[in-house]
Amino acid sequence: MLRYLPFLLVLALWIYTFIDCLNTPEDQVRKLPKLAWVFIILLFGQVLIGPVAWLAVGRPRSSSRAYGARPREQRQWIAPDDNPEFLRSLDKEKDEEQESDEDGTGGTGGTGGAKG
């Protein structure tokens, strides 16, 4: 089983780089056209030249935006008590609850909140 490990690792790298190249937008591919990189990966994948070349030279740098990623300032986590949208939703719920209590249709389920 251990003798198949190098072959499986090469195959995994080959498949990964091929899919990564196909999913990379054309304008982010470096040095060569995307189609050329696909052929290089497919033709030289068995000897690791194609996949290693793609990872080293053709792949977009990590500083560029990933597929569908948001800019850093938009993806930072905000605590609920600092999030203005969350605070507005709480105020809205509170106002709706007060209005329903004033109308006599409060959310007590008809029990009045008192035990008899």
Chain mean pLDDT for the chain: 78
pLDDT at 30 over 80: yes
- Nearest 5°: phi and psi at 114? -115, 145
Percent of the chain with pLDDT over 90: 16
pLDDT at 9 over 60: yes
pLDDT at 87 over 50: yes
Per-domain boundaries in the chain: 7-58, 72-101
Sorted by sequence, the CB contacts under 8 Å of residue 65 that are 6+ apart come out as 71
Using a cut of 0.75, tell me whether the model's pTM lies above it.
no
Are residues 52 and 46 in contact, defined by beta-carbon separation less than 8 angstroms? Answer: no
Average pLDDT over residues 19-34: 89
Average pLDDT over residues 83-87: 81
| CA pair distance 104, 107, nearest whole angstrom | 9
Rg, Å, the chain Cα set: 29
Average pLDDT over residues 84-98: 86
